[in-house]
Amino acid sequence: MVQISALSLFKFFFGILITQGVTAVLVYTALTTDLQRTWPLFAIVVCTIGFLVALWFTSIVDGANKHALSKATERFSREREKIRIQAEKARVKEAQVSQRRVEKAKSGGLSPGTSLKTGAIVGGAVGLGVAVMTQFVTLGLLMATSAGGLALGYTVRARQEKVVRNKQLPAAEKPVAVIEAGRAKPILEAKAKG
C-alpha cells in the first residue's frame, strides 16, 4: 500500500492548481484572439505545459516511491538484524546446553530425581513386557497341554476298544447255552384243575 505524505499531497495540489490556472489563461487568451491564425501556437503551448506537468508529477511519484522504498528497506534491515540477533542468541544457548550435556556425561551424572523417574519408566516397561510374555507363554502352554490331553485321550480310548474287541469272540465261536425245561402246562388248564 502506497502511503502519501502531506508533502506529496501539497505538491500534487499545487501542480493541479497551476495546471488549472494556465488552462484558464489559455482559454481566455484563445477567446480574445483570432484562433484561426494562432491555433498552432496554442497547441504548442498546451503540449509544453502538459509535458512539464507530467514531468512534475512523475518526479513527485518517484520521490514518494524512493521514500517508501527507503522506509521499507530500513524496516527490513531492522527485522533482519533482530532475526540475526535472535539466531545468535539461540546458537549461544544451544552451545551452552550442549556444553552442559557434555559435562554431565563426563561426570557420569544425572540428577537423583531424573534417575528415579528413568528407573520407574524402565521398570514399568520391563514389567509390562514380562506380563505380556507370561500371558503368551501361559496361552502356549494351555494350548500344548490341551492338544496333548486330546491326543492321549483318543489313544487310550482306541486301546481300550481294541482290548474289548479282542476279548469278544466272533458270533460263530460263541457257545450258546441251552436250557431245557419240562413240558409246560397251559395256564388255563392249570387253573381249571385247581
98 belongs to a structural domain = yes
Task: Give residue 4's region: left, alpha or beta (phi > 0; psi -120 to 50).
Answer: beta
57 belongs to a structural domain = yes
1 belongs to a structural domain = no
Q: Taking each helix axis as running N to C, give the angle between helix 35-107 and helix 6-32, from 0 to 180 degrees, rounded to the nearest 10.
A: 170
Cα 19 to Cα 55: distance, rounded to the nearest angstrom? 13
Q: Is 178 helix (H, G, I), strand (E, B) or coil?
A: coil
Residue 34: give the domain boundaries: 6-109
pLDDT (tens place) for every residue of the chain, 194 residues total? 556 677 777 888 888 888 888 888 888 888 888 878 888 888 888 888 888 888 888 888 888 888 888 988 999 999 999 999 999 999 999 989 888 888 877 776 555 556 778 778 888 888 878 887 888 888 888 888 888 888 888 888 888 888 888 777 666 666 667 777 777 666 666 566 65
Does 115 lie in the same domain as 37?
Answer: no
Does 130 lie in the same domain as 89?
Answer: no
41 belongs to a structural domain = yes
Total domain count, the chain: 2
Tell me if 42 sits within 8 A of 32, measured CB to CB.
no
Does 62 lie in the same domain as 128?
Answer: no
